[in-house]
Amino acid sequence: MKEINIGILGYGTVGAATDKLIRQNAPQITARTGVKINVRAVADVSPKVKHPRLTRNAYDVIKDPEISVIVEAIGGINPALNYVLAAIKAGKDVVTSNKEMIALYGNKIREEAARNGVSVRFEAAVGGGIPILGPLSENLAANNITEIFGIVNGTTNYILSKMSWEGGEFKEALAEAQKKGYAEANPKKDIEGYDASYKAAILASVAFSAKIDWHKVYFEGISKITQEDICYAEEIGYVIKLLAIAKKVNGEIEVRVHPTLVPEGHALSYVTGPMNAIYVRGDAVGELMFYGQGAGGMATASAVVGDILAIANPKSSALGGQNPKVKAVKIKSISEITSQYYIRLTVPDKPGVLAGISKAFASENVSIAAVMQKETIGKNATIVIVTHEAKEGNLQKAISRIKKLPVVKEVSNVIRVGL
């Protein structure tokens, strides 16, 4: 087992969730990766923060010789950038969720990291817990990525979805988003497209291995979108989404964020509420989409801790085929699972049939959720039954009973229902 000591700068939503996740899943993390993560110190200036290893001075953490990885979870430029640069100069690897800092100062941070031979990872900066920067730079490294675009801001996607589902104007939907915690009290960075523009710049820089000047990224928010626009778009077969778009066109790069009419039926049109999804087009892999929660403390912490483990364990031994420590497990027999079931029966078209069938199900504790009597062909009728959740073993016993009923010609199909 390998131990790694980390320090967390900023104990807000992301910092606290990172600490919590490391504690909560410590046994699984060690079992899967062979790494034990110790949170050696936490720095935060807020008098409200309580933590057994708290300091008010970030430099206490940065300079601690026991600590090898600094997690920056303060957000914004000041003082986060100075702390990160100081950590790099002190020879620490850095993990950050700070999209604004990476978008604006990623080039400077990259140069400083190269000079000091340390890693800076920021999977959490785009798409919350959705693995996107790792896959782009690792699994997809053989591709010439030509396009990457998607819904990278949950606040605006929630607002647009709500306007589309329920009518109402932007202001009402924003108020609702604030009530639900999807929008901040000062929502400017989300609704005016700043947040998405940071993510667009980061996606472009990783997908195209390019230095992107954020100041050249065009962005627009959603505050001008009206209910009228949403309705007219729908009439012509579109939904309105705030997209971050990066494309390589004839060797030039486009990076932009704006509301976009997305054709109904495109995978992104189904991405609603606060969810995020990122579409990638590569010359070998074709089209890919990565979908998930784009925000939230624990989802973001999932990416942060993933990055810490990648630093601790550069030659990953976690792949099933490589980890010699995987345990044998018992696999449930199919008769032990539970599911709902769809059953299609062929029966003679005469009275009393359903009574016998119902009794067979009931005697095996399978309860019926819905019955449809379908058309009669010749002397035969079709009955379709959907059960409530039942144990597969019981269902199979009920089916055996039903097969023996004189009123049943055939059990024509049995298909499991639901996920």
Query: Whose Cβ is closer to a copy of itself: residue 216's or residue 406's?
Result: 216
Rounded CA gap, 149 and 108, in Å? 25
Judged by CB under 8 A, the number of residues near a copy of itself is: 140
Taking the complex as a whole, the smallest distance from the CB of residue 2 to a copy of itself amounts, in Å, to 13
Residues 325-344 contacting a copy of itself, CB under 8 A: 325-334, 336-337, 340, 342, 344
Tokens describing residue 113: 């990291």
Query: Whose Cβ is closer to a copy of itself: residue 122's or residue 361's?
Result: 122
The yes-or-no answer on residue 199 being catalytic is yes
Cβ(290)–Cβ(132) under 8 Å?
yes
Is 345 an interacting residue with respect to a copy of itself (CB under 8 A)? no
Closest to 260 in 3D by CA, of 293, 301, 230: 230
Query: Which residue stretch of 30-38, 157-165, 171-179, 400-408 sits at the interface with a copy of itself (rule: CB under 8 A)?
Result: 30-38
Closest to 72 in 3D by CA, of 121, 137, 136, 23: 121
Residue from 287, 359, 362, 373 binding a copy of itself (CB under 8 A): 287
Q: How many CB atoms lie within 10 A of CB 326?
A: 12
Residue from 48, 65, 228, 352 binding a copy of itself (CB under 8 A): 228
- 306 three-state secondary structure: helix
Query: Which residue stretch of 2-10, 41-49, 138-146, 184-192 sits at the interface with a copy of itself (rule: CB under 8 A)?
Result: 138-146
Query: Which residue stretch of 40-48, 184-192, 217-225, 358-366 sits at the interface with a copy of itself (rule: CB under 8 A)?
Result: 217-225
Residues 53-82 contacting a copy of itself, CB under 8 A: none
**Angle at CA of residue 311, ends 307 and 312, nearest 5°:** 115
Query: Which residue stretch of 41-49, 66-74, 214-222, 350-358 sits at the interface with a copy of itself (rule: CB under 8 A)?
Result: 214-222
**What is the radius of gyration, based on Cα positions, of the chain?**
27
Closest to 291 in 3D by CA, of 309, 318, 269, 307: 269
Taking the complex as a whole, the smallest distance from the CB of residue 193 to a copy of itself amounts, in Å, to 13
Is 303 an interacting residue with respect to a copy of itself (CB under 8 A)? yes
Taking the complex as a whole, the smallest distance from the CB of residue 306 to a copy of itself amounts, in Å, to 4
Pairing assessment for the beta strands 69-72 and 93-96 based on DSSP bridges: parallel
Is 31 an interacting residue with respect to a copy of itself (CB under 8 A)? yes
Residue from 9, 16, 33, 157 binding a copy of itself (CB under 8 A): 33
Residues 6-25 contacting a copy of itself, CB under 8 A: 17, 21-22, 24-25
Residue from 224, 350, 351, 378 binding a copy of itself (CB under 8 A): 224
Pairing assessment for the beta strands 380-387 and 368-377 based on DSSP bridges: antiparallel
Residue positions counted in the chain: 419
Is 286 an interacting residue with respect to a copy of itself (CB under 8 A)? yes
Please identify which of the residues 92, 189, 199, 248 carries the catalytic annotation. 199
Query: Whose Cβ is closer to a copy of itself: residue 62's or residue 88's?
Result: 88
Is 413 an interacting residue with respect to a copy of itself (CB under 8 A)? yes
| Residue 323 vs residues 147, 308, 326, 328: alpha-carbon distances, Å | 35, 18, 6, 12
Residues 183-212 contacting a copy of itself, CB under 8 A: 202, 205-206, 208-212
Residues 107-136 contacting a copy of itself, CB under 8 A: 109-111, 113-114, 119-123, 128-131, 133-135
> In this structure, is the dihedral angle defined by the CA atoms of residues 251, 219, 264 and 127, taken in order, positive or negative?
positive
The residues with which 249 forms a beta bridge, in sequence order, are 252
Cβ(230)–Cβ(222) under 8 Å?
no
- Orientation of helix 99-116 relative to helix 194-207, angle to 10°: 30
Query: Whose Cβ is closer to a copy of itself: residue 36's or residue 60's?
Result: 36
Query: Which residue stretch of 68-76, 170-178, 181-189, 240-248 sits at the interface with a copy of itself (rule: CB under 8 A)?
Result: 240-248
Residue from 217, 244, 345, 381 binding a copy of itself (CB under 8 A): 217
Q: What are phi and psi for residue 126, nearest 5 degrees? A: -130, 125
Is 378 an interacting residue with respect to a copy of itself (CB under 8 A)? no
Taking the complex as a whole, the smallest distance from the CB of residue 201 to a copy of itself amounts, in Å, to 9
Return all residues near 159 (Cβ < 8 A) that are at least 6 apart. Answer: 170, 173, 174, 177, 183, 191, 222
Rounded CA gap, 304 and 155, in Å? 21
Is 319 an interacting residue with respect to a copy of itself (CB under 8 A)? yes
Cβ(12)–Cβ(73) under 8 Å?
yes
Query: Which residue stretch of 5-13, 190-198, 255-263, 357-365 sits at the interface with a copy of itself (rule: CB under 8 A)?
Result: 255-263
Closest to 69 in 3D by CA, of 134, 132, 22, 13: 22
Enumerate the active-site residues: 199
